[in-house]
Amino acid sequence: MKYLVHMDVNLPAGMPAEEAAEIKAQEKAYSQELQRSGKWPEIWRVVGEYANYSIFDVESNDELHGILQGLPLFPYMDITVVPLAKHPSDVK
């Protein structure tokens, strides 16, 4: 099952720089492990924003929910999820 996910990151203004850097490093490692597994095949930066659009390819709503809840930046994100179905005009 494929999903389009929008993640909008809002770190508190008062968060110490070292703490922010540590969470971002954890986020990167978590994300790259999932990318290598094939569950997170695409991640794109939104130009001019601290936000991304990602494609997830997972087995279920519950699996995606678990992955998103496990994001180190999850407490600081607004997330929207769009479930995707195959388009009838897709030639693949």
Binding of ligand LWBT4IAB by 7 (CB under 6 A):
yes
**What phi and psi, each to the nearest 5 degrees, are found at residue 15?**
-70, 130
Which CB sits closer to ligand LWBT4IAB, 49 or 90? 49
Torsion of CA 16, 21, 27, 31, to 10 degrees: 160
- Cα separation of 68 and 79, whole Å? 9
Subset of 56-85 contacting ligand LWBT4IAB (CB under 6 A): 73
User: CB 52 → ligand LWBT4IAB: shortest distance, Å?
Assistant: 4
Contact 53, 6 (CB under 8 A): yes
Binding of ligand LWBT4IAB by 35 (CB under 6 A):
no
Which CB sits closer to ligand LWBT4IAB, 3 or 86? 3
